[in-house]
């Protein structure tokens, strides 16, 4: 609990950073270095994707940001205030959904939310029922509101956790894998909801191990691998940093690969009738002409736009593990 009189020796960082960390590090008791020197900057108004394969340190980071566990080293600020020091002033303005929301199984979804709302000293009891009804509606749980939470599916529990985070208008929403357990339709609904919240001015920080999910909804992203930050920035810039791939479809894949190499293409990969490569530094029309001149029957010739996944692979030299 920090009073306003507490002096802060370090200079204020950019005002528009809703979350910023400096050298944030967590080593668990067993010796596991889960987060390693993280410098994260989340701009106000962004939908910020916190991306990384299973075990890369996303949940550990989020638990530190929310003051649930202390860092081993480094510092974190949320809404401009140091965490966990200022948790009492910061947390009421932050809605959070962290791995497996705590629910009372014997209570209905609605009664769970009524309990959450009661636990918030700033929540007006006279408008409680409306608030809860609106939150249930927002996450698509109105019809199942009377059902006991223990009878909810994983996706329904996830929605209920999200509803709890939405009971009050928030400056910041922190959602750890919000689409975990949801079917494709449910995932789309959550994406739509996230966009709506963002257009209302809420900054949304969400973790995911699904690259395409992040590309679809986020304005900014940070990529984690093995506890370290690989890159962060605007999503458009991140994928622009990686070059797209040249894709040639042909029954003469071997010959096409040879010509592409001759033309200066890098990382030539043959997969049946598809040959992909890093495009050489020359007019693609010339490359195509060279293929045709060598007798390659070109059935398709395209430059695929780089994705975040390409950026990830280019940066880490590893595939993005989606085994989880
Ligand atoms: N309480 C704990 N004690 C010891 N090690 C832990 C603990 N929690 C997590 N870890 C380890 O820290 C590392 C990071 O875990 P974390 O849960 O932060 O990853 P994550 O990115 O959230 O993964 P996922 O995508 O699977 O949710 C992993 O190696 C994990 O095994
Ligand atoms: Mg996690």
| Assigned domain for 310 exists | no
Range of the domain at 264: 246-304
Same domain, yes or no: 152 and 200: yes
165 with 297, same domain: the answer is no
From 213, 234, 255, the end of a domain falls on: 234
Q: Quick one: 69 exposed, middle or buried, by C-beta within 10 A (0-12, 13-18, 19+)? A: middle
- Rounded CA gap, 310 and 243, in Å? 8
Are 154 and 277 members of one domain? no
Q: Do residues 268 and 154 both lie within one domain?
A: no
| Cα(129) to centroid(ligand 1), Å | 37
Cα distance from N-terminal residue to C-terminal residue, the chain: 38
318 within some domain: no
Pocket of ligand 1 (CB under 6 A): 28, 30, 32, 34, 52, 54-60, 209, 324
Euclidean distance between CA atoms 54 and 32, whole angstroms: 15
Residue nearest to atom 13 of ligand 1 (CA): 34
* Domain count along the chain: 2
Q: Tally the C-alpha atoms within 13 A of residue 144's C-alpha that lie toward its C-beta.
A: 17
Neighbours of ion ligand 2 (CB under 5 A): 58-59
CA nearest ligand 1 atom 10, residue:
34
Is 312 within the bounds of a domain? no
Cα–Cα separations (whole angstroms), residue 283 to 44, 264, 265: 41, 12, 12
Q: Going by C-beta distance under 8 Å and a sequence separation of 6 or more, which residues neighbour residue 306? A: 239, 240, 241, 242, 243, 244, 245
Residue 294 lies in a domain: yes
- Tell me whether residue 145 is in a domain: yes
Tens digits of pLDDT across the chain (324 residues) = 444 444 444 444 445 799 999 999 999 998 889 999 999 999 999 999 999 888 899 999 999 999 999 999 999 999 999 999 999 899 889 999 987 678 899 999 999 999 999 988 889 999 999 999 999 999 999 999 999 999 998 888 888 999 999 999 899 999 999 888 788 888 888 888 899 889 988 999 999 887 778 888 999 999 998 999 988 999 888 776 666 789 999 999 999 999 999 999 988 999 999 999 988 888 889 999 999 999 999 999 988 776 777 777 766 666 655 433
Question: What backbone torsions phi and psi does residue 267 show, to the nearest 5 degrees?
Answer: 45, 55
CATH number at residue 48: 3.40.50.300
Do 158 and 67 share a structural domain?
yes
């Amino acid at each position: 609990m920090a009073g306003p009189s507490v002096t802060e020796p370090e200079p204020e960082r950019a005002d528009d950073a809703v979350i910023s960390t400096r050298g944030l590090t967590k080593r668990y008791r067993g010796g596991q270095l889960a987060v390693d020197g993280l410098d994260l900057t989340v701009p106000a108004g962004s939908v910020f994707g916190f991306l990384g394969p299973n075990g890369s340190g996303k949940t550990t980071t989020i638990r530190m940001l929310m003051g649930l566990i202390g860092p081993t080293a480094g510092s974190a600020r949320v809404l401009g205030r140091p965490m966990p020091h200022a948790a009492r002033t910061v947390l009421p303005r932050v809605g959070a959904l962290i791995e497996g929301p705590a629910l009372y199984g014997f209570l209905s979804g609605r009664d769970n939310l009524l309990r959450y709302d009661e636990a918030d000293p700033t929540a007006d009891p006279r408008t409680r029922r409306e608030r809860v009804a609106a939150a249930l509606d927002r996450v698509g749980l109105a019809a199942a509101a009377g059902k006991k939470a223990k009878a909810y599916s994983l996706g329904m529990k996830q929605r209920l956790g999200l509803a709890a985070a939405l009971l009050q208008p928030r400056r910041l929403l922190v959602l750890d894998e919000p689409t975990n357990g949801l079917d494709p339709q449910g995932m789309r609904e959550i994406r739509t909801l996230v966009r709506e919240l963002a257009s209302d001015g809420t900054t949304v920080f969400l973790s995911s191990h699904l690259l395409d999910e992040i590309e679809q909804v986020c304005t900014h992203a940070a990529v984690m691998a093995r506890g370290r930050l690989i890159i962060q920035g605007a999503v458009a810039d991140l994928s622009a940093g990686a070059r797209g791939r040249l894709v040639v479809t042909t029954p003469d894949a071997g010959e096409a690969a040879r010509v592409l190499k001759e033309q200066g293409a890098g990382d030539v990969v043959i997969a049946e009738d598809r040959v992909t490569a890093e495009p050489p530094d020359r007019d693609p029309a010339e490359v195509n002409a060279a293929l045709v001149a060598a007798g390659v029957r070109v059935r398709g010739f395209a430059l695929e736009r780089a994705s975040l996944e390409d950026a990830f692979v280019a940066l880490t030299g590893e595939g993005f593990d989606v085994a989880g």
